[in-house]
Structure 1
């Protein structure tokens, strides 16, 4: 038997089939375009997204002979789609980076109570969350608000289009800021304030639960040869963390991609005033009874893309000539030692802990002798120092992080991964999991149909692990740099407040 994990991201979707031993049998990927018709808007055409999802499912089915018996879904958080009667999509999905609702937050938060909102949802107010986007729809698109039978995230929207009553996993529901993460139900207090009946939302269920079978004609259309169970998955970060083997407290995923993100496993809900003030959330993890937080830099790995596009002409030309990778050539020029530059890595809005949508980046210490390699490394140091700031706040709140498991494209470069270990002064493990999100979703599917706890299904990684231990000398230098880094944001914040 085999299992499909599908990952519905912001820029594309991927389906991967795994066998009983977690070995990849086939994969398929499709991209789609984020639409930005106006300033602060970021949308996806949900019809296009679903079409691409069906394409990747059909393609992997054509590549495997082992019967697929179950499918799990990993999905980007927060984005939702209005769906009318008869399942017709009546509007685009606002993705996380859509910030059009930012001006609606103060009135709602002040009226409802920021502390009360945090105590229910485990999150602090930000325009990325579904709650504030729905308020915007109600005020600015009243016809869509009235005509929508459902407002569905992509996990539950795919259920609907597969002929299944829509269900939403607890981790996904937690990202909406409409969900009580302790009672595990939609919050009547929040829904009543915005005038939304819970019947217009999907049914919340824990991760790893069978929510239905794919409708027979749809299954044949997608290339399935037998009955296929659909299993609740989760928010993409939590599913990828599961796929990376994060099943015991003390370990934490460090995702290196477009966004850099920490996702640990917590044995119980963790709420505190310090976490709230630093915008560090708490919501359900994909292992039953466990919780997580996410700490992230929205600039993340995109900062290296900026270097390639703006400073990497030579490396791009070399890559074309030698059929190589421009990123590899850029990273080869980094000096071995920590740089003397200090970078504030806010090339887009900040993530945690500040949630500052107006922040700007800075490179401090440039001289005529500064090289491109130093700038490249300093930018990556800046992102790593930002993540170290989040780690310090997490640990000060009682979370114990012993080691990190790194995932994402950035793990392919040893120098970059070693830099993370040195800055964090923690062990960083790289595992041989190319598609952690899809693997985590497939694990949940396999667990549900085999009735084996998901912890018991994760294959052993020890023989293929790469382990990066912090260099004591460099770690000490980065500790000194970190003390300066913590003062950089407060010192420069005044700059963008007067230069809007």
Structure 2
């Protein structure tokens, strides 16, 4: 039986998995994504990502490797890699959450018409997007910026190293803030504004397109077959959507990792004005050709829980021992540790009491994540006119039973959880499989590879007990925003 190789370059860890045609795992590896932390957040090391990736590929058994017919890659978005003419990285690659672009965002926000940008690119201006990262390079590394021959994504860089072909898929281009969604091309006007000639941007392609066979030197080094096909991948959340069959309108994906992402599949590009939205969400090209998505999320979803557990010297085993009862008093937590949909957003606990214990705060944090998610959910569903038909949740957070029960109750939705915990990796492998003809179409791939583990049904009593706290959360959210914006002004004055 032919096998497929999926690679997921993640915010914290990179995963490599060999799957059978039926979606079963043959072998897997994982390693921390090479990263240098600093006061702004930090930068990825593209060359090191590739080096460690190749070393891990070498470590797979020869029996598993010889059956692999194609590979593809999912990765985080917004991160840019500057390459020289030999396709070697020569720039820093600030993380999507890195804050060094905040000053650039502030300096340029009055010159950017948000409504126009939103209609063209599907994004409301935020400092994390690729456009601001390129402006940062232009201002603070002008010589390196000028010497860059090509700009690509992290996925595009690794794919080029494996195949020798440079590319940029639509789903990752959708997160740059200079991709013309309607015409599926780079925006000449926006590239001119940031001083990047069009010829420095790679050819745009859909996800799931064969680039070439793997380069012979890479095949020799790793032990992979010389006829292995290298296939364009996509944005990690959209690859996860491919893995669980979320590509038609009415299908929804919750992806719970460092971020807690919300993806609603769309049949066509939405017609929405940014000024009409209470809270912004993005839209763009799906990893399935001719499909689109609406996307929002909590930037620090899983990150918030990991942060808190570390503070109280606990790990995920603590969550399994914790009682399932809802606290009588909920300390509302606003999960903006890595920002939110407005500039200057920061996290906060509200309604703390002296008798509260570790378990009360842990459960309060998880409940509040559900509240934040519900607000994002309702705004997207209403503005996109979505009638939800199926909800699937992937990611490490699905192992937290309390979190899943709360989420199902707050959303008032039945939630499917697949057996696979690494949806993005599997989605990349499925894209590779469709490209080489192992699957007839996305639906065929879903039928053959999806394995259900559990279904969470919304509990009416739990839902009723949480509704008053949810209403209070919504009221206080606007107050928290006001306080955050006030603090941002004070901090800006101090820095001057």
| TM score, norm. by length of structure 1 | 0.91
CA distance in 2, matches of 1:466, 1:425: 17
Q: Which runs of 5+ in 1 are unaligned?
A: 317-325
Change (3 A) 1:339 1:328: farther
CA distance in 2, matches of 1:159, 1:461: 24
More moved, 139-148 vs 330-339: 330-339
CA distance in 2, matches of 1:59, 1:439: 20
Q: Does structure 1 conserve the Cα–Cα contact (< 8 Å) formed by 2:284 and 2:293?
A: yes
Residue 167 of structure 2 is matched in structure 1 by 167
Residue 320 of structure 1 is matched in structure 2 by none
Residue 376 of structure 1 is matched in structure 2 by 362
Following TM superposition, by how much is the alpha carbon of 1:235 offset from its aligned partner in structure 2, in angstroms?
0.4
Deviation track 1:180-210 (CA, whole Å, cap 9, x = no partner) reads: 1121111112112222122212211111111
Q: Does structure 1 conserve the Cα–Cα contact (< 8 Å) formed by 2:263 and 2:295?
A: yes
Residue 344 of structure 1 is matched in structure 2 by 333
Residue 321 of structure 1 is matched in structure 2 by none
What's the RMSD between the two structures over aligned residues? 2.1
Residue 296 of structure 2 is matched in structure 1 by 295
Following TM superposition, by how much is the alpha carbon of 1:106 offset from its aligned partner in structure 2, in angstroms?
4.5
Residue 88 of structure 1 is matched in structure 2 by 88
CA distance in 1, matches of 2:62, 2:350: 50
Q: Does structure 1 conserve the Cα–Cα contact (< 8 Å) formed by 2:11 and 2:76?
A: yes
Residue 118 of structure 1 is matched in structure 2 by 118
Q: Does structure 2 conserve the Cα–Cα contact (< 8 Å) formed by 1:12 and 1:30?
A: yes
Residue 385 of structure 1 is matched in structure 2 by 371
Q: Does structure 2 conserve the Cα–Cα contact (< 8 Å) formed by 1:341 and 1:366?
A: no
More moved, 458-467 vs 340-349: 458-467
Residues 209-248 of structure 1 mapped to structure 2, 5 A cutoff = 209-248=209-248
Q: Does structure 2 conserve the Cα–Cα contact (< 8 Å) formed by 1:6 and 1:16?
A: yes
More moved, 196-205 vs 449-458: 449-458
Residue 439 of structure 1 is matched in structure 2 by 426
Deviation track 1:211-235 (CA, whole Å, cap 9, x = no partner) reads: 1221222222121133111111100
Q: Which runs of 5+ in 2 are unaligned?
A: 492-496
Q: State yes or no: 1:205 paired with 2:205.
A: yes
More moved, 217-226 vs 120-129: 217-226
Residue 464 of structure 1 is matched in structure 2 by 452
Spell out structure 1 runs of 4+ moving beyond 6 A: none
Match of 1:429 among 407, 416, 434: 416
Residue 494 of structure 2 is matched in structure 1 by none
Deviation track 1:442-482 (CA, whole Å, cap 9, x = no partner) reads: 10111011162122112357873411111112212322222
Change (3 A) 1:339 1:297: farther
Q: State yes or no: 1:4 paired with 2:15.
A: no
| TM score, norm. by length of structure 2 | 0.92
Deviation track 1:403-425 (CA, whole Å, cap 9, x = no partner) reads: 42111112113222111101111
Q: Does structure 2 conserve the Cα–Cα contact (< 8 Å) formed by 1:331 and 1:373?
A: no
Q: State yes or no: 1:415 paired with 2:416.
A: no
Residue 329 of structure 1 is matched in structure 2 by 318
Residue 350 of structure 2 is matched in structure 1 by 363
CA distance in 1, matches of 2:278, 2:400: 35
- Counting matched residue pairs gives 484
